[in-house]
Structure 1
Amino acid sequence: MSDIVSEDTGTSAGTLSQAASGSVAGSGRRTLTIARSALLLAAALVVCLAVMLAVGLQLMQGMGAVAEGWRDYDLQAATKSDALSELRGHLGLGGVIDRYREGAESGAADHAALDRALGLSRANLEIYRDIVTPSENEARAIAAIAAFLDAIQVQMEDPAAAIPADAFDTCRRDAVKGLAALNSHLSAQRARLTAATLDDIEALQRLMAVGGGVIAILVLGLAGAAVWFTRSRIVGPLGRLVEDARRLARRDLDRPFQGWGKAGRVDGGFRHDELGLLGRSLEDSRVALRGLFAAIEEKGRRLGESERRYAMAAAATNDGLWDWDLDSGDLFLSPRLRQMLHLPAAAGEPGLAALLSHIHPDDRHAVLSAIRQGEQGADGASFDVEFRVLPPGTGEEGGGPQPGTGWLHLHGIVAAGPDGRVARLAGSAADISDRKSYEARLVHQATHDFLTGLPNRAYLVRWLHDRQAAQDGERSDLALLFLDLDGFKLINDSLGHAVGDRVLVATAERIAALLEPGEFVARLGGDEFVVTVPAGREAAMARAQALESAFKGPLSAGGMELRVGLSIGLAVDDGTSDDPDSLLRDADIALYRAKEHGKGRTVLFDASLREAILIRSRLERDLNPALEAGDIFLVYQPILSLPDGRLAGFEALVRWRHPDLGFVSPAQFIPIAEETGQILPLGRHVLERAVDQLAGWRRLAGGDALTVNVNLSARQMLDERHVDDMLAFLADGRAEGLKIEVTESMIVTDHDQARAILERFHALGVALCMDDFGTGYSSLSQLSRLPFDVLKIDKSFISALGTDPRQESLLRGIVELAHRIGLEVVAEGIETEAEREVVTRVGCDYAQGYLFARPLSVADAEALLSAAGPIVLPAP
């Protein structure tokens, strides 16, 4: 469902984005949108207001002009009228003229009153003249009045200077006419002002009529345009949009939403204005929703098909499915899971208790813990648990695990509800019985020996650790017997690994047959076995003796009766160690001491053995530094010719003077060097020193007969790189007088490789000696096929001459056969005169031993070489 929503949401978003881009494209054309229409209406309203303002301003200016004219008239005309009225009063009745006549008639004029009247007349005349600049007529009238006043003034002051009466009357008449002219002028001015005012008022009335009409027309047009625009461009489209929205809400999505043209005619297109954009958005939404609902229906159809396929797959899959609604408690198990749990297919959904009854009792707690973990987990968390299922028909009464018990791996996930609480647990279950069986086999293979089926070292070590953990501070007796087969390596190398494997199997069977309840044997590898004895020292020693006795008889392996012995190292848990591995280590140390002391015996571990191991570890660590420091050096034991007692040569023997431990026996450090690989640099050191010493001695002795024998171990001779280095060192003439001694073990290990290496030394002129003959299984027939020059009979063979009369005959036969195949014979370890007489009698060519000389230092050997004649033997 989420895929449906995401897909269709993307479709809708794409459609809407197309609509938006269309609107942007439409906005580039000059179309009358609602916003532009509103701007036009606002502009028309501004024009209307401007006209109204202009008309109002004109009216105000006209009315102001009328008012200003009347104010000027009131100021000027009233003042002039008052001044003219005062002037008539002062000139007329009771004024200047009357007083002048009275004075003329009576002859006794009142000059003071006449002067006052004249002064007031002149003052009013000046006021009239000063109010405003007089016109030409007014100026003549004022001048006539002023002349009349002057005439009266002259006649009053100087009657002799007075003008004639006719002239005076004329002047008076002119003054009266002047007053009349001024009065007429005032009347005419008032009439003109009234006429101008009436004209202005008429102009203002015309302006008001025209401007008001224009304004009315603009207002009516603007109102009509607003009504038309609102109805046709907003109300109508909004009604259609409402209807379209209702269709959208009703999911009536099949018919497209139609637009409207500029004239209101429905033509299937949308205008390029805001409502048109909204209409296109609704149409795009209709298209998108129709596609969305179609996609949802298609997804629903696919989901139904998917659910049917899922149901079929769940029924056919090898894994089981489960779903647990924690709120309702419903637990759904798929048919496959019911089959895994051995639940009846026809039964209803089981509860948790019924489910647990089919789980092994030992695993129910783990299952419950996993479910509780899921109930307390976060949304999306997962949990896993593995458990065993009881076989069919067992249930609660089934008891312990049955042979048919299977394993299931339950995986679950957590789903939280809207409130954040865990609402569901769901997951799958897989049958892991095969995997568990395979793991069990792997564990068995990892903890048991493949050849013998016995527990191996890993099992033994884990058993020791588990035993210590289970004791919980309380110690119980335990002894470990570390067994090693004496002579097994020789059997394995000479008779082959197949025979050696049979010997190991037979050994394991014989040891196991001797064990008592509570004891077991483990094979650590090779020919090493460990027997655990939960008892003290006495019982462990008795078990070791019984094992030694059991192996005194032969073992049957591959149709052959073969004899092997046992060397046993015994360690007893004394309760002082907290490391279980230390007990095994102590038994190993005791075994090492048993083999070191002659094999075929049992050695009980004690603290002194650990000290010996520590010393061995130090020798191993100090061996290479000792070579560099010169603490390892050579001594030389003389080899004499038996017929004449002549000194024939020396055998180079290595010695070690340790700065802390003193002289260390070769029997101690040579085996260490063999085991650790340090024998290679040690052998090279011995070879180089011996060859250099031989060259000096041959010059000192004045002859070429002197030889020096150098021992090379099988490890040195079978290392091809080391052999190449030795041959390269000896290639430039250093091989003269050198004899190489090798042991039988080199030949037994790989006969063909040994022969090839020996022939390389022989081709270089190096004489080859078979050392320690008689201690192994070598035969003269094998020696005849190898390039040996000398046969050295071992000391142990020589020492047996005095105890067994047949030894001399056997020794004689060996010497004669060796001579027949061209070998010289050297008898080693001659310590008594009797032994010398026997080896001389049977025909040995050379001898060496303490009877003649112990190993000598370089100085003593050179002193021996300087003495002329044969070595004088001590008296017997």
Structure 2
Amino acid sequence: MNLDPRTARHGRSAGRPFWSRYLGGRRLAGGPVAFRLLAALLLPMIAVGPVLAIGSPRPAQQASDAGPQPAELRVALDDNYPPYSFRNADGTHVGIVKDLWALWSQKTGVAVRMMPSDWNLARQAMDTGAATVIETIFRNEARDALYDFSTPYARVDVPIWFSSDLSGITGVESLRAFTVGVKDGDFCIEWLTDQGITAFQRYSGFEVMVDAAARQETRVFCMDDPSANYYMTKRGVQGRFRYTDPLYTGELHWAVRKGDAALHRLISAGFDRITPEERKAIEQRWIGRSLGGVSPGLIDLLLKLLAGLVVLGIGALVWGLLLRRQVESKTESLRTAVAALTASEERVRTIFDSVNDAIVIHDLDSGAILEVNRRMKEMYRVGNVPLSDIDVGMLSSGTPPYTAEVAADWRRKAGDGEPQLIEWHARRLDGALFWAEVSMRRAVIDGNDRRVLVLIRDITERKAAQERMEYLSRHDALTLLPNRVLLQDRTEQALARAERNGRLVALVACGLDRFKTVNDSLGHAVGDALLRATAGRLKAAVRDTDTVSRSGGDEFILLLSGLPDVDAVVETVASLHERMAVPFEIDGQELTVTLSSGVALAPADGKDFATLLKNADTALHHAKAAGRDTHRFYAEAMNTEAVAHLSTRSGLRRALERGEFLVHYQPQVSLETGAVIGAEALLRWNHPDKGMVPPGAFIPIAEDSGLIVPIGAWVLAEACRQGAAWQARGLSLSVAVNLSALQLQRSDLVRTVTGALDGSGLDPLLLELELTESMLIQNTDVVMDNLRRIKAMGVQVSIDDFGTGYSNLSYIGRLAVDKLKIDRSFVADLTSNHDSAKITAAVIQLAHGLNLTAVAEGVEDAATLAALRQLNCDVAQGYFLGRPGPADAVEHAARQVNPFKVGV
């Protein structure tokens, strides 16, 4: 909407019904009978028309004066402005303006096509010529250059609305600490901007903004009074908001393009043909009926009743005069005494009700409320509820320590002669909570000393101001992140915990590279938005137990606590830099910024906050000096380790893209026949500079970084392809693939396995997936669902490294696991350690008891192989039976007859 500042005014008198201007603002139903009868007779004579009148109230003009009539008028207007123009529950456009234009069309014979839409689109339709008339528009000087306006037909107050749990919102000056919700394109944006308010949250319409306010996405918002009342009542949230005095009062018009005098005259003449009664009927349909005229039959009946009452009144008057003469002399003295007593009581009651604090008188014995003043009824929203129906416990929030029992204890202390002054969390009868300052003391009333006088002062606004001041004293005003004061407190707590549990604590000082360029070229508003977006990304990159703070300017400080080792710090720092590499979308502009960071570790680099912060800043300075978009540790040794870690991490990303990975296969041998029956797929990395990198050097980093998921999917597909190739050459060799914990917990694991099988054509019975015992107790629901679905496909499942962790045997039974692989640590000591031999024998017996295949890993010599055969182990693998190597070596061994001399 747009508003002419010359018409803006404060106050709400413009929206009052017309009869309130004649009858002193009183409701007609509230006066005496005679007044109501008189009003009923006079109202039809003074009711000259409804408040709402579209078009100017000048005499009707002839159609010929308006010039040639167009075939159709196209009227653009806002469809989010009840009761004038809005959409009902099924999306149909309705409202006062639509009905009046329909009546205008009937009167003039000119077709009218309504074009309800978003306000900005309505303006565009008018400015591009798609519409000939624009409705529900405010007038200002800029619009006067574009349009010819009608006389105003309605006045609308525009206040600031805010959540009822806020306080201190009184006008424009109090908005400077808030982001104000506004309807996109609304005049309120221009008006507030002129007042120096620039922080806005824009919404497509009033209804959307009310929904957002109900969800507390916006706490302070600007909205026209009628629309706010309509949508808040529609949503049932009107009790959750308060409002200020109007910022301004706008006037609604219709308008045509500048200079189109003929069209303006035509429209005005058409509206002049609409009678006051017709306008009033339309208004009553959307606003509701007010008390208007009274039917002649009812007037006759009322006059007859009035006549009867007059006769009865005269008789009663005569009778009263006779009685009055008889008792006058006897009651004169009593009247004087009563008058004096009444005056005294009225003075006391006036004082009692005029006190600005709530007053409650309690009976100590029963706990009941005996008396309250007017302020108490207002404060607790008692309404017409009798005092006898109010349980004292209802007036406490009920959240410890603010319970009815604690309140009763306070009253008992006051009754024993100990005055009390407390802050209390109270509850109004409608359920709303507020803060109160409560004073209690014993009182003697009518000779009874078992009374407690309670004075209650609403301190909600004071409490909210204190809490906000305390919050701002410990948080950054722009990003709402903890500031250095709160960061220091949390760091000292983290250091104390780390000293007890032996974990690491890290302070990471971060700075945006060349942030000043953004501020200088795009302005501080964009710079502030970038800082808020950066704060969000930094918080998303760390754990909930870590702290992200802003120390000022473009510098942020991260507190990472409870870290197991330096690798965890390196992973977090790497994640920060990766997230910052993604461009930001700020006010429709794409911004790319980089991050420099410095890391100090406790206790190595300092055992207190000041030392750690100084060393982290020093490391940040070195990072910026090294060319920015990098990080540095305060300790040089940590830099070397971090560089190696990140180098491996970066190399892993490139390795998958460049095809540097390969799969070796280690044969698995049946101890019953001596034949090769399958192979385990083992990942190898052939680095172009370092050569063959051992798995232990890169697998943990791949798991920490999440790269194990795409790498594992590649290994699975490659192993299935090789198994299918063996199958095509007449060899039924099973292929075993290790799953990582991350893969097993992903919801797309089944799709990955299905894709590998379908893409290769491998029989699912020849695929075996290996998982460790610990995986069965991590994210059990997802893991169990994945395994059930994989088993349903016919894929085999084995438990790797069995005996080293915790196994829930019920899971193994329910999942119908196919194999148990005995950990190599037991197999290696089988012939030299009695305990290892007993454990190995027990696992084999357990496997056979569950109808599972027992597989021994790490067979390094003939003695171990013989011992396993004696224990009836089913399958074995190890260097003695074949080292991991190319698939051709496994195929060659599989084609040999009894390669391991079984039965010879």
Report the TM-score range of the alignment, normalised by the length of the smaller protein: 0.3 to 0.5
**Which of structures 1 and 2 has the bigger CA Rg?**
1
More helix by share: 1
| Structure of greater relative contact order (alpha carbons < 8 Å, 6+ residues apart) | 2
More strand by share: 2
Could you state the TM-score of these two structures normalised by the residue count of structure 2?
0.34
Could you state the TM-score of these two structures normalised by the residue count of structure 1?
0.35
